[in-house]
A and B are shown apart, each in its own frame.
Chain A
Amino acid sequence: MNTTETKTGAATLLAASEIKGTKVTNFQNQEIGDIDEVLIEPDMGQVRFAVLSVGGFLGLGSTKVAVPWQSFQIVNERGRMKYLLDATKERLEKAPRVEGRNYERLYPAESAEPIFVYWDVEWVAQPETATR
């Protein structure tokens, strides 16, 4: 698999409708925002991105970034899921943004792959996606 992947301790299936609005904190225990959307690749049902709504975190304006699912560490804290992301202010500031809700843009490999590169997650192309 990829080098940065961290095994989550969730030990349960996650209900997509409950992920929206979940707070995300960084490794310094700062709250960096919440999850706005989960984007799924239709062929295999692979979750590609979580769209993170970065609140006023450390003076950044309200902004949305797409982060590969594998970048998150999910910890099960007595039944409640805690989402951790290795992201300082610097890293979030420079992260690829998402404008509006035009998530279609994130589907082709040429738009998606740079985001994986940015977050140090190995890009795994779906067999047919790249050629479409």
Chain B
Amino acid sequence: MKIKLNAIAPLLVIVIVCAGQPFAQGAKNPATNYPALVSASEIKGTHVKNLQNQDLGQIEEVLIEPDAGLVRFVVLEVGGFLGLGATKVAVPWTAFQISQEGKKPKWVLEADKEKLKNAPKVEGKSYQRLYSRADAEPVFVYWKITWIEPAP
């Protein structure tokens, strides 16, 4: 019994720590502090920076899960950032920190070259592929965002 408890204890700690993570299900992204609705048509072309203020690229598309009306992914076109070729990655909406800069939203993503290089890629415009949970969930896992299953 004692051995079992010892084996479980670290797991319990992990569970507790995870529960306190900012991206727990249903929680608001605490880094997002933009006091207005964002117009979808104005998002395209917006530049995204990382925490080191490097330009990662620009937003190519916003993908909406139709039933819940939740934005599932933002497709980020990674330019020649740090020598990476032009490539597109899908990133969950809540991975971004959106704040206000002047009258416009400022988009920040915590990502360095390594993180972007290994991120799940999007080929062409075959966004349908990202609809199924089997394809979408690993992207959430990669960006450490809790997967929220749309209401049935």
Contact A47 B63 (CB under 8 A): no
**Chain B 52-89 per-residue mask, 1 if CB under 8 angstroms from chain A, else 0:** 00000000011111111111110000000000000000
Contact B62 A15 (CB under 8 A): yes
State whether A13 and B40 are in contact (beta carbons under 8 Å apart), knowing that A40-B71, A45-B70, A47-B70 are contacts in the complex: no
Those of A57-93 within 8 Å (CB) of chain B:
69-70, 74
A-B contact count (CB 8 A): 117
Q: How far is the CA of A46 from the CA of B93 in the complex (A)?
A: 10
**In the complex, which residues of chain A have a beta carbon less than 8 angstroms from the beta carbon of B66?**
8, 10, 12-14, 74
Per a CB cutoff under 8 Å, which of B27, B68, B131, B151 touches A12? B131
Q: How many residues of A contact B (CB 8 A)?
A: 38
Contact A103 B70 (CB under 8 A): no
Q: How many residues of B contact A (CB 8 A)?
A: 37
Contact A7 B131 (CB under 8 A): no
Contact B63 A46 (CB under 8 A): no
**Chain A 16-36 per-residue mask, 1 if CB under 8 angstroms from chain B, else 0:** 110110000000000000000
Chain A minimum-CB-distance residue to B37: A39
Contact B98 A13 (CB under 8 A): no
**In the complex, which residues of chain B have a beta carbon less than 8 angstroms from the beta carbon of A126?**
28
> Is B118 located at the chain interface by the 8 A CB criterion?
no
**Chain B 93-136 per-residue mask, 1 if CB under 8 angstroms from chain A, else 0:** 11000100000010000000000000000000101101100000
State whether A42 and B34 are in contact (beta carbons under 8 Å apart), knowing that A10-B66, A17-B61, A17-B62 are contacts in the complex: yes
Per a CB cutoff under 8 Å, which of A42, A44, A47, A101 touches B64? A47
Q: Which residues of B are at the interface with A, using a C-beta cutoff of 8 A?
A: 27-29, 32, 34-41, 43-44, 61-73, 93-94, 98, 105, 125, 127-128, 130-131, 151
Q: Which residues of A are at the interface with B, using a C-beta cutoff of 8 A?
A: 1, 7-8, 10-17, 19-20, 37-49, 69-70, 74, 101, 103-104, 106-107, 126-128, 132
Closest 7 CB pairs of A and B: A45-B93, A45-B71, A69-B69, A16-B62, A38-B40, A16-B40, A10-B66
